[in-house]
Amino acid sequence: MSSKKMDSCIEACQICIEACETCSSENKDKAGMEKSVKLCIACIDTCKELITASKNTASNLNELYKKCEEACSACDNECGSHTNMEHCSVCADACRKCAAECKAMLTAQN
């Protein structure tokens, strides 16, 4: 596996974590935004798990790429529906890019 591709995926995860942290804190305690907050937190946790596993060259990377892709896609879909809020738009974009990086890693592995 190319370390350049891995580095790109890790960078996308880091950007996604930052965007999701901002989005979840901005939406905390806002009525109707509970799902957004929940998905942002799940995305943060999954991205952090993938980064750690990638740095340790864990044996379950494919499973984590898929899990991260799914979490990021779900967050993208939810936050993407709140484009009237800048932080949600930024979050959706970061999640979309991270999901694409994870999918590319899965494709490269097979």
What is the per-residue pLDDT across 32-49, written as a single tens digit (0 to 9) for each?
999 999 999 999 999 999
Residue 2, pLDDT above cutoff 60? no
CATH of segment(s) 3-109: 1.20.1270.360
**Predicted local distance difference test score (pLDDT) of residue 83:** 86
Q: Which two tokens stand for residue 91?
A: 């979050």
Mean pLDDT of 13-27: 97
What is the per-residue pLDDT across 74-105, written as a single tens digit (0 to 9) for each?
999 999 999 899 999 999 999 999 999 999 99
CB contact at 8 A, 85 and 9: no
Residue 108, pLDDT above cutoff 90? no
Distance of alpha carbon 3 from alpha carbon 75, whole angstroms? 27
Residue 57, pLDDT above cutoff 80? no
Where do runs of H (alpha helix) occur along the chain? Answer: 3-27, 34-55, 61-79, 86-109
